[in-house]
Amino acid sequence: MKIIMLGAPGAGKGTQAKQIASKYSIPHISTGDIFRANIKNGTELGKKAKSYMDQGLLVPDELTCDLVVDRISQDDAAAGYVLDGFPRTIPQAEALTEALNKRGEKIDYAINVEVPDENIVNRMSGRRACLGCGATYHVVFNAPKKEGICDSCGGELVLRDDDKPETVQKRLNVYHEQTQPLIEYYGKADALAEVDGTQDIDVVFSDIIKILGE
Ligand code: ADP
Ligand code: AMP
């Protein structure tokens, strides 16, 4: 099963993608996580990506597309995957479609997690990410057992630089301009499914299971 998560930054793509990956035993591939791991490890890619991410801008397609096409070609992705944060532009979607076409494959579901802009700023200002394992929490909606400490690995939880309110508005503008057109793109490809992302995390997930099947 090949799945794409669509939706604004902070809509809950990563939260749902992790649960989908676990239920259907497929890898969760997040381009944001890949870039953040590269930044942490001080790689050339990380240095380049950081300059865009800190400004709330998208990392250029030429640094992103090959990376994803390589990743989905690995053995663990043979039975499918859930892509979170990719594609984010029409050229990225076209690159993905072309790479899949070459192998006679296609995306089965593009799940659009719908959350209005006015909810997004709250979501992002309350998001906390683990410096150790990348797990994500929310101070109100999905709080860790102990404040500031990751339940999974005991790492320190921080507010991402790009989740500060001044950057969030920029990221939302970028989303509407560059990423939202993908809803129509995957609608035309007959892969689009929509869920109401303003509901509780568990309710959103059960709606997604209804789409994907038990
Ligand atoms: P995205 O991957 O789309 O950027 P996340 O999955 O990281 O978004 O979610 C953004 C923030 O909102 C996180 O702090 C997460 O815990 C919280 N969150 C996710 N889904 C919901 C929901 N349905 N209701 C309330 N908060 C949510
Ligand atoms: P995310 O973790 O998905 O919210 O992504 C964090 C940031 O990483 C984004 O704001 C972008 O700067 C960058 N990024 C992640 N995925 C992509 C992508 N597919 N194309 C371009 N930039 C990306």
Active site residue 13: yes
| Catalytic member of 13, 36, 123, 128 | 13
Residue 55: the pLDDT is: 94
Which ligand is nearest the CA of 15, by number? 1
Write the DSSP string, the chain: -EEEEE--TTSSHHHHHHHHHHHHT--EEEHHHHHHHHHHTT-HHHHHHHHHHTTTPPPPHHHHHHHHHHHTTSGGGTT-EEEES---SHHHHHHHHHHHHHTT----EEEEEE--HHHHHHHHHHEEEETTT--EEETTTB--SBTTB-TTT-PBEE--GGGSHHHHHHHHHHIIIIITHHHHHHHHTT-EEEEETTS-HHHHHHHHHHHH--
What contacts 161, CB < 8 A, 6 or more positions away?
Answer: 53, 54, 167
195 lines ligand 1 (CB under 6 A): no
Please report, rounded to a whole number, the percentage of residues in the chain having pLDDT higher than 70: 100
Candidate list 2, 36, 88, 128, residue with the active-site label: 88
Task: Give catalytic status of residue 36 as yes or no.
Answer: no
Ligand 1, atom nearest to 11 Cα: 3
Q: Is 71 a catalytic residue?
A: no
> In this structure, which residue's CA is closest to atom 4 in ligand 1?
10
Alpha-carbon radius of gyration of the chain: 16
CA-to-CA distance for 101 and 62, rounded, in angstroms? 20
Residue 155 corresponds to which tokens in the numbers above?
A: 């790492």
The dihedral region occupied by 146, where left means phi > 0, alpha psi between -120 and 50, and beta the remainder, is beta
Q: Determine which residue's CA is closest to atom 15 belonging to ligand 1.
A: 138
* Any ligand 1 atom below 6 A from CB of 10: yes
Give 67-124 pLDDT, tens digit per residue: 999 999 999 999 999 999 999 999 999 999 999 999 999 999 999 999 999 999 989 9
Q: Is the dihedral of CA 60, 18, 152, 167 positive or negative?
A: positive
Nearest CA to ligand 1 atom 25: 141
Closest CA to 71 of 124, 117, 30: 30
Residues forming beta bridges with residue 195, ordered by sequence position: 113
The Cα–Cα gap between 9 and 197 comes to 12
Give the pLDDT confidence score for residue 214 in this predicted structure: 86
Give the distance (Å) from ligand 2 centre to CA of residue 214: 30
pLDDT of res. 90: 98
In this prediction the pTM is 0.96
pLDDT tens per residue across span 116-171: 999 999 899 999 999 888 899 999 999 999 999 999 999 999 999 899 988 999 99
Mean pLDDT over each residue of the chain, to the nearest integer: 96
The structure tokens 């129509």 sit at 184
Percent of the chain with pLDDT over 90: 95
Q: What is the CA(186)–ligand 1 centre distance, in A?
A: 23
Does the Cβ of 58 fall within 6 Å of ligand 2? Answer: yes
Q: Is 137 in the pocket of ligand 1 (CB under 6 A)?
A: yes
Quick one: which ligand is closest to 49's CA? 2
